[in-house]
């Protein structure tokens, strides 16, 4: 204000700032805390993958700008820049040049129920398909001169406040890059709107300021909200204090406030290379407040838009679900705490999803020491840490895309190791049959559970197979008894009446992974892994030999009754009995040749002597008019 009493008086230019008594007290307390020379500086990241250079927001409650007991401060004009910076939150309560009135504070009508009711990821009903044309248009708009012209161009295809906000959001998320250098150096130039448009770089403070300004130009009420975030550098269970590390926006649409974060909607920073990558994330547009609170804690609890609001302590202790948790269709996870402890060397994690989903896990960076089974809508994981101490457990989900994304992380504490639970390293995920194996053509398995116990080291597994599907199986253990060449020789595959049977013989006691693969016969390429069983045998007397080696002409519909052992005794007469389809003649060849005869039940029967030979073959003649016999089975003979 200007004071002029008379011609002899001195003209003084001053800035007048009015506080409520409540706010003046709060400011004094905050200033005292900030002035503590022994307080360590704290820095955290505003972007999900970066962590420096965020403006120090003052913790001022905007509701405190009103009151009856007043204090007046008078400052010289040259103090104005510092004061405007100090009260940067208060300036947002003024109207803008387009005549927008002061945005109202959030109230009861803005609040959403907590916890999340699973109704929607958004805070208002949205059909994202309605934005397809607008999104394409907005993402292609370029800066010609100033901000006003840019907003005007964006609004050419927007016909409601919702569409105006959407166009601004899409443009920022596809054009503004996170400025890592400015964030690390706390470069204030990065916050100027003119520089943001020129360089198309900024940090979270700049993202939020630009979004707010563009919304106001478009005639939509918008606020910048400072607060704490669980972004880059966040450690499970850490506490938050001191300066705020992030900023986002609240936008007023259809009579309610809604939340957006264009910084996290634009992309990610690779922590290993410190390079930003545009990776659009729809999750942070009009996010449901009960989900937004998982990684955003505002300075003013009213901006949580929740009923009841969460305390800072709750924010610190609550399980942190990444945006991909919800983008991939997850609904819940148990345990609901980020730090879990094993019980008798085991921890169990379950997840619920809104649709059938593929999962995988990593314990300390490896897909080992766990049993993951798929459920119709979710999964169950039993994890067995190999050592005592603290472990990192990551869970990934595939969803509708072809890429697995990390959706959840646990800190796993183990104070006991069950040495009796040693899982094969080749035990891959998922375990046991599920909706996925059914989708891949394996139907109605005889063993629905993923773990099969056998007392004599043998088992038989049957399942239906869709027409045109070929099945392949292999056995894997953790010793040299089963090599890459022999991993299929401990399994003999039979096919009868549209069901496939896998006869399995274990070479010793222990735990083994039985892997199941499928392939469409008419399509080129390799077999696809579908699932595996865990076979367990504690009988130390078990020493089953391999099955006979089968060749390409061994048809899926053939059946071997005897001998099942791939190693025959020396100097013995060995009986043979097989069901062979589409053959004219069959014989067994060792030192001599012994023909097989077809009995009334459709089996080829006979015997042969193993004297004087090291190998025995079963051979067939498919066409009676030809003299060419094909090998279908091969046996080895023990040394005499």
Q: Which residues are catalytic?
A: 204, 246, 261
DSSP symbol at 357: -
Phi, psi (5° rounding) for residue 477? -130, -175
Torsion of CA 481, 486, 489, 491, to 10 degrees: 70
CA-closest candidate to residue 345, choices 280, 391, 397: 391
Q: Per the structure block, which two tokens stand in for 488? A: 């299929």
Burial of 261 (0-12, 13-18, 19+ CB in 10 A): buried
576 contacts 585 by C-beta, under 8 angstroms: no
222 contacts 249 by C-beta, under 8 angstroms: yes
Residue 45 falls in which region: left (phi positive, over 0), alpha (psi -120 to 50) or beta: beta
**C-alpha to C-alpha distance for 278 and 217, rounded to whole angstroms:** 26
Asked whether the CA dihedral 289, 293, 295, 300 is positive or negative, the reply is: positive
**C-alpha to C-alpha distance for 53 and 195, rounded to whole angstroms:** 16
CA-closest candidate to residue 612, choices 575, 572, 562, 567: 572
Q: What are 581's strand-pairing partners?
A: none
DSSP symbol at 40: P
Q: What are 587's strand-pairing partners?
A: 595, 619
Q: Give Cα separations from 93 to 204, 221, 222, 340 (angstroms).
A: 20, 10, 10, 45
Q: Per the structure block, which two tokens stand in for 502? A: 């896998």
Written as one string, the DSSP assignment of 56-90 is: ------GGGG--SSEEEEEEEGGGHHHHHHHTTTG
């Amino acid at each position: 204000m200007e004071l002029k009493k008379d011609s002899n008086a001195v003209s003084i230019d001053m800035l007048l700032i009015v506080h409520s008594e409540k706010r003046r007290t709060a400011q004094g307390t905050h200033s005292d805390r900030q002035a503590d020379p022994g307080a360590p500086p704290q820095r955290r990241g505003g972007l999900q993958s970066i962590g420096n250079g965020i403006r120090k927001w003052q913790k001022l409650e905007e509701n405190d700008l009103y009151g009856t007991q007043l204090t007046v401060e008078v400052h010289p004009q040259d103090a104005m820049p510092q004061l405007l910076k100090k009260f940067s939150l208060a300036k947002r309560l003024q109207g803008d040049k387009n005549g927008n009135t002061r945005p109202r504070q959030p109230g009861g009508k803005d609040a959403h129920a907590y916890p999340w009711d699973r109704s929607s990821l958004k805070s208002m009903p949205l059909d994202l398909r309605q934005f397809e044309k607008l999104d394409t248009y907005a993402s292609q708009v370029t800066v010609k001169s100033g901000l006003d012209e840019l907003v005007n161009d964006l609004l050419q295809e927007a016909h409601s406040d919702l569409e105006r906000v959407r166009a601004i959001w899409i443009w920022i998320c596809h054009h503004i890059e996170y400025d890592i250098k400015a964030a690390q150096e706390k470069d204030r130039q990065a916050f100027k709107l003119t520089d943001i448009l020129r360089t198309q770089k900024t940090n979270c403070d700049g993202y939020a300021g630009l979004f707010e300004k563009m919304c106001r130009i478009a005639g939509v009420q918008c606020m910048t909200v400072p607060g704490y975030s669980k972004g880059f550098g966040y450690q499970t269970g850490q506490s938050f204090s001191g300066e705020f590390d992030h900023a986002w926006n609240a936008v007023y649409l259809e009579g309610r406030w809604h939340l957006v974060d264009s910084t996290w909607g634009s992309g990610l920073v690779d922590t290993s290379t410190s390079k930003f990558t545009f990776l659009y994330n729809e999750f942070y547009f009009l996010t449901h407040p009960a989900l937004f609170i998982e990684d955003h804690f505002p300075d003013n609890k009213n901006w949580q838009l929740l009923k009841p609001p969460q305390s800072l302590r709750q924010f610190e202790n609550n399980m942190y679900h990444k945006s991909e948790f919800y983008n991939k269709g997850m609904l819940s996870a148990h345990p609901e705490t980020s730090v879990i402890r094993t019980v008798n060397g085991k921890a169990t994690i379950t997840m619920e999803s809104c649709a059938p989903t593929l999962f995988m896990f990593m314990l300390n960076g490896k897909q080992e020491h766990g049993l993951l089974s798929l459920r119709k809508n979710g999964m169950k994981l039993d994890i067995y840490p190999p050592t005592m101490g603290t472990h990192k457990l990551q869970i990934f989900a595939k969803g509708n895309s072809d890429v697995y994304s990390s959706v959840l992380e646990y800190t796993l504490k183990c104070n006991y190791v069950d040495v009796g639970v040693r899982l094969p390293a080749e035990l891959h995920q998922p375990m046991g049959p599920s909706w996925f194996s059914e989708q891949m053509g394996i139907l109605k398995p005889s063993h629905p559970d993923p773990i099969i116990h056998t007392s004599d080291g043998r088992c038989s597994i049957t399942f239906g197979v869709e027409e045109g599907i070929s099945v392949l199986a292999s056995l894997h253990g953790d010793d040299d008894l089963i090599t890459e060449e022999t991993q299929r020789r401990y399994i003999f595959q039979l096919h009868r009446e549209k069901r496939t049977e896998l006869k399995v013989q274990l070479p010793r006691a222990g735990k083994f992974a039985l892997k199941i693969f499928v392939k469409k016969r008419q399509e080129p390429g390799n077999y696809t892994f579908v699932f595996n069983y865990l076979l367990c045998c504690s009988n130390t007397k078990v020493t089953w030999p391999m099955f006979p080696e089968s060749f390409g002409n061994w048809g899926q519909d053939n059946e071997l009754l005897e001998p099942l052992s791939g190693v025959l005794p020396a100097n013995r007469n060995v009986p043979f009995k097989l069901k062979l389809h589409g053959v004219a003649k069959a014989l067994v060849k060792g030192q001599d040749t012994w023909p097989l005869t077809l009995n009334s039940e459709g089996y080829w029967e006979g015997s042969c002597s193993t004297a004087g030979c090291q190998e025995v073959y079963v051979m067939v003649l498919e066409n009676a008019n030809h003299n060419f016999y094909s090998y279908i089975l091969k046996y080895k003979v023990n040394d005499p």
